[in-house]
Structure 1
Amino acid sequence: MVCPYAWDVPGGVQYHVRDIAEHFIRQGHEVWVLAPAENDADLPDYVTSVGRPVPVRYNGSVARVTLGPATSTRVSRWLEAGNFDVLHLHEPLNPSVSLVALWASTEPVVATFHSAMIRSRALHAAHPLLRPSLEKIRGRIAVSEDALGTVQRHLGGMAFIIPNGVHVDSFALAPVRPQWAGTPEAPTLAFLGRVDEPRKGLAIALQAMPDLLEVHPGIRLLVAGPGDASDLLKDADPRAAAATVMLGMVSDDDKASLLRSVDAYVAPHLGGESFGIVLVEAMAAGAPVVASDLPAFAAVLDIGTPTGGDANGILFQTGSPQGLAQAMLPLLADPARREALRVAGRARSRVFDWDVVAAKVMAVYETVIAGADAEPEEPAPQGLWGRLVRGVPGGGN
């Protein structure tokens, strides 16, 4: 597997690659991961560093990636030494190691597309150059309908929709922490995400807090995640700032306990989300979810579908602090409603358990390997350019 983003920096793609790699390792498969990482990073045995990452603005965020001649050399050596049955690339169109690995690959390639982008001029302009390499991809996976839309707009063709996975039981069985648990007079809300990334929407949650404090003077907003929120807190209503507890980065165990302990989870994201793994984690832990009405979040909560309704969570207008407050206040006043959301959310989260998700990914691997074995062997291409322009018969499915 190839992860394009810095392994030692928290992120959804990194966690996805880590969890699925370790799931397959526990099943007895031999799995190796290539990813950027700082020189002093503490890496698992199965991870090889491709070099130090550099920050690059991408899709409304800052991605830490690596690219260049040294990267190309390291990728080629890693592929040659691995002699892999299948190469699984994550975000292969990003300007990072996954794209380099796609250029250099000769083994069957599976690609997972995580991002949701309405339009990318760079991808449109680069498509003629990328097309021969894209034909090497025998199996495409999109983590959501939004990610599938990105694939179809920029590449054409179809992909298997296989969502991100969660170890559901690790959240469902996490211990409640008294310091994070609320009371009827002083409920607690949780927010998880990079606090200084505008699209995560912490500013919206802070702007909603005064309305919540009018009804619940003891309410607390517990914020977990990297970044510096000092400017947001300085600009916030003083009452909101005083009621906000900054926890900083938390461990996986602490994250699970935080979600298990609070009265509700708030996801005020503004856009750029193709899935919403933290919503699944919150549901698995039994935290009622109140989220922006982004299409990706509605899909995770199964709201607005013939089988879903509004049983698994509550949506409010994206970017509206008033909408967030108006959605949250009735929920906090209704213990029965919160309990119903806990029960429904836990059931919904089982769809995303790694046992279910990983089995679907393995089925894609088996399909592309079988297809490659059935084709006549071709001479190995010479040099990076030869690998780049060599397509694969039947690729691009």
Structure 2
Amino acid sequence: MRIGIVCPYSFDAPGGVQFHVRDLAEELIRLGHEVSVLAPADDSTPVPDYVVPSGRTVAIPYNGSVARLNFGPVVGARVRRWVSEGDFDLLHIHEPFLPSLSMLALWAADGPVVGTFHTSMERSRGLQAISPVVVPMLEKITGRIAVSAEARRTLVQHLGGDAVIVPNGVYVDRFARAPRDPRWVGADERPTVAFLGRLDEPRKGLPILADAVGPVLDQVPGARFLVAGRGEAAAERAQLAPFGDAVEFLGGVSDEEKASLFASVDVYVAPQTGGESFGIVLVEAMSGGALTVAADIPAFQAVLEDGAVGRLFRRGDSSSLARTLVDVLSHRAETAPVRERAATAVRRYDWSTVTSQVLAVYDMVLSTAHARVREDPRSRTMFGRLRAAATERTWA
């Protein structure tokens, strides 16, 4: 099968969606399919051979984070050329409603299309503003996937329709078999707690963890906190400096280092305040063997099965986080059953299972298709795209 995958977010600064697209593409290639990924990236950015860069991006605040997107007539021409030359059996567009590369690809495509929705949000004036244009275009999508119940809720609430839930994937065994790093391995008197996330993105919750460190050290004086991720976070660094070597900032870590971190530490903490549709890092941490402590946002509650395979604390409440960490660090032996349940639960997220579910959606879409993906002639002008999207309810 020839599959074209569109990623809206830049490979210059990869995040969860980019890693999902990369891993899905590589798993499909491993299974014998031909895959091309269209994604924003500067010409000088190293990307895998199967990635076609669509050019530089613009940083735009989005859903509590910063999205690096590209759009416009030049990018539109590149998209149409990629669609036309790709001769794809099927096009798989991630975040189709995002005004970016994904929307341009949806405009350009005429043929079998699958859309995957990753975003979770409560209300969005932006989505409300563009919904008259976006909703008719979504009728071009034959198969819809949401990565979680929260992502599905966002789709239904803002744009209507429905989607089958297929979660994000993880190579579980890569984390389960990762070597332990002596620098990060905890001991009875020196248990280790890890945080991983963009340090300067407030919704990742570093300020919540920073406020909890002192109370935890009062009760567990030997605890060590390992803070991994890119970003300055000057205020948190200054706040935590008095604790000396009890807090260590690791900076950005590679995929291999991340796996070793989760295999080494006693606890992984996820203090996010919202804006998460799934929680792939929780699955990675559980796969590595770390006990996961997370804020009780809906997406994390779902992954941790309401606390059956991890521990939850009140979102945004550093006192609740501190009490939870003191409890699990003081009674580490009692957490063994939770870790065992987690090791079993993560198997449902392994890429072998997830890819089979994605391929089932592909098969469903192709069973109703009568042609390969080709360029939609209405995509050649911006006016034509907007007029078609706003006025037509059925697509040829």
| TM-aligned CA deviation for residue 341 of structure 1 | 2.1
Matches within 5 A, 1:1-397: 1-234=5-238, 236-240=239-243, 242-303=245-306, 310-373=307-370, 381-385=377-381, 389=388
Q: Give the direction of change, closer, same or farther, for the CA distance of 1:54–1:376 in structure 2 (3 Å limit).
A: closer
Q: Give the direction of change, closer, same or farther, for the CA distance of 1:372–1:356 in structure 2 (3 Å limit).
A: same
Contact 2:191 2:266 in 1 (8 A): yes
Equivalent position amino acid for 1:344 in 2: R
| Matching residue of 1:306 | none
Equivalent-residue separation in structure 2 for 1:212 and 1:131 (angstroms): 49
| TM-aligned CA deviation for residue 167 of structure 1 | 0.2
Equivalent-residue separation in structure 1 for 2:160 and 2:146 (angstroms): 13
Contact 1:280 1:300 in 2 (8 A): yes
Equivalent position amino acid for 2:357 in 1: K
| TM-aligned CA deviation for residue 233 of structure 1 | 1.3
Contact 1:220 1:244 in 2 (8 A): yes
Equivalent-residue separation in structure 2 for 1:3 and 1:361 (angstroms): 16
Q: Give the direction of change, closer, same or farther, for the CA distance of 1:69–1:241 in structure 2 (3 Å limit).
A: farther
Q: Give the direction of change, closer, same or farther, for the CA distance of 1:183–1:218 in structure 2 (3 Å limit).
A: same
| TM-aligned CA deviation for residue 10 of structure 1 | 2.4
Residues 296-339 of structure 1: per-residue CA shift (max 9 Å, x gap): 00001111xxxxxx320110000111100111111111132222
Which stretch of structure 1 is more off in the superposition, 237-246 or 96-105? 237-246
Contact 1:106 1:387 in 2 (8 A): no
Contact 2:279 2:299 in 1 (8 A): yes
Q: Give the direction of change, closer, same or farther, for the CA distance of 1:377–1:60 in structure 2 (3 Å limit).
A: closer
Contact 2:185 2:265 in 1 (8 A): yes
Q: TM-score, normalised by structure 2?
A: 0.93
Residues 101-128 of structure 1: per-residue CA shift (max 9 Å, x gap): 0111112111111010111112112111
| TM-aligned CA deviation for residue 392 of structure 1 | 8.2
| TM-aligned CA deviation for residue 361 of structure 1 | 0.5
Contact 2:83 2:374 in 1 (8 A): no
Equivalent position amino acid for 2:60 in 1: V
Equivalent-residue separation in structure 1 for 2:234 and 2:137 (angstroms): 45
Equivalent position amino acid for 2:368 in 1: G
Equivalent-residue separation in structure 1 for 2:270 and 2:133 (angstroms): 38
Unaligned runs of 5+ in 1: 304-309
**3-state SS of the aligned residue for 1:166?**
coil
After TM superposition, which residue ranges in structure 1, 4 or more long, deviate above 4 angstroms? Answer: 375-380, 385-388, 390-395
Q: Give the direction of change, closer, same or farther, for the CA distance of 1:208–1:84 in structure 2 (3 Å limit).
A: same
Equivalent-residue separation in structure 2 for 1:58 and 1:241 (angstroms): 35
Equivalent position amino acid for 1:324 in 2: L
Equivalent-residue separation in structure 1 for 2:184 and 2:315 (angstroms): 27
Equivalent-residue separation in structure 2 for 1:88 and 1:150 (angstroms): 19
Q: Give the direction of change, closer, same or farther, for the CA distance of 1:208–1:382 in structure 2 (3 Å limit).
A: closer
Q: TM-score, normalised by structure 1?
A: 0.93
**3-state SS of the aligned residue for 1:372?**
coil
Q: Give the direction of change, closer, same or farther, for the CA distance of 1:383–1:315 in structure 2 (3 Å limit).
A: closer
Contact 1:270 1:292 in 2 (8 A): yes
| TM-aligned CA deviation for residue 393 of structure 1 | 5.5
**Percent identity among equivalent residues?**
51
